[in-house]
Amino acid sequence: MMEALKYPIGRFEPLPAYTPAMLQGFIRDIHYLPQLIEIAVQHLDEYQLQTPYRPEGWTVAQVVHHLADSHMNGYTRMKLALTEDKPVIKPYEEGAWALLPDVAATPINVSITLLHALHTRWTNLMERLEEADWERTFIHPANGTQHNLKTHAANYAWHGKHHLEHILRLKERMDW
């Protein structure tokens, strides 16, 4: 039960290869995520926004702010991989970021606006990449693994759906 609450669409599973059609689907998913998040939270009141999506999980508001934080990092990682040779990326403590004062003090519409702008830039970039660009990689320092940009796009398409589903399933369970 807890696994289903934590990973409502399952865990991200990278594939060994991605087709151009799959990449276009990831770009679409990333492009439309801000609109879907905005629709999902548009009628929630402050109590609902401060409700965790699962026991010991983030609140809806924290999820929205996390998406902005995470996707800014994802966009930056892609740009680093496109402009440097196998850069080592900087990880961040997402749980700690969710507890910083800006999360509590900032209305979610600010992070939703940020997501709209960020995802416009990100999809404009991805739509213009050449095949060779998608093969560029970055290195994650935690385990030294290389990640190509195809897998990176797949991961962030999944990530957006994953957190959107947290919100949607909470609303369904609570009958909001």
114 vs 78: CA distance, rounded Å: 18
Confidence of residue 1 (pLDDT cuts 50, 70, 90): confident
Condensed to tens digits (0 to 9), the pLDDT of residues 67-99 reads 999 999 999 999 999 999 999 999 999 999 999
Residue 67 and residue 161 in contact, taking contact as beta carbons nearer than 8 Å: no
Domain locations in the chain as residue ranges: 34-174
The pTM for the full model equals 0.96
Fold topology of 34-174: Four Helix Bundle (Hemerythrin (Met), subunit A) (1.20.120)
